Amino acid sequence: MITIEAQSTAARGPSTGMESMPGAMMAVMSQGIDALLATSSFLPGRGGIETYLDTLARDLAPRVAVLAAGRRDGLPLPRDLPYATEPGPGRMLLPTPAVERAIVRAAASLGTDRILFGTPWPL
């Protein structure tokens, strides 16, 4: 079980450098998010779970952010979506200490303590 201790957006105070962030990330940082969706199967991959999770995240945007592999099929994780994306370590998220740290770090920086797992395997 992972315990996340994160400061709320209000407790962190005003952020800096938001002007250079993508629109979805600016919305997340200014409003906070409800959950971080961690998944090993996501865009730019194409398939049933990838399409489902993208549609789910679009429906919940901007109140959700997605942590997925930083690269898949030689392509980077998209950053131009209506919700924030956070690149995770490697080409697939596996249940390793590095992935656990990436999830905890992303959730804390986004001000949430809710983690959703988009795919039951291999996480």
Quickly state the pLDDT bin for 85 (edges 50, 70, 90).
very high
What pLDDT shows up at residue 121?
A: 73
Quickly state the pLDDT bin for 26 (edges 50, 70, 90).
very low
Q: Tell me: pLDDT of 104 over 90.
A: yes
> Which 3 state secondary structure label does DSSP give 95?
coil
* Contacts with 79 (C-beta within 8 Å, 6 or more apart), sequence order: 22, 85
Segment 43-76, tens digit of pLDDT = 988 888 999 999 999 999 999 999 999 998 889 9
Task: Enumerate the H helices of 1-123 as residue ranges.
Answer: 9-12, 23-31, 48-60, 97-110
What pLDDT shows up at residue 54?
A: 96
What's the rounded mean pLDDT across residues 84-92?
Answer: 92
Q: Tell me: pLDDT of 16 over 80.
A: no
